[in-house]
Amino acid sequence: MSTTTPENALAVLAREVAKILNVESVETNVGIGELGIDSLNIVELIVFCEQLYGSIDPEALNITQYTTLEQLDEQLRSNQAA
């Protein structure tokens, strides 16, 4: 299980997405499609999320091009609590 606290998991997630996209930073309230995440990046993002949030079921996630990092963080944290 990850040692990242819920308070800073979103910041860590945003830094990783920025790294994946090779940009300085990303907005956490913008859809991932608008950020530039594509289908190949999604796989990389899910692998990172498993490291950050612990074991997850990718099939249980509701990720679309409009999903924001804030919404993804909320889904992953609620899955941890379940």
CATH code of the domain covering residue 31: 1.10.1200
Residue 18: CB atoms within 10 A of its CB come to 14
SS3 67: coil
Q: In this structure, are residues 76 and 56 in contact, taking their beta carbons and an 8 Å threshold? A: yes
Q: Could you tell me if residue 1 is inside a domain?
A: no
Q: Could you tell me if residue 24 is inside a domain?
A: yes
Average confidence (pLDDT) per 10 residues, the chain, 82 residues: 66 96 97 94 93 88 94 89 63
pLDDT of residue 5: 58
Q: Could you tell me if residue 51 is inside a domain?
A: yes
Give me the number of domains the chain comprises. Answer: 1
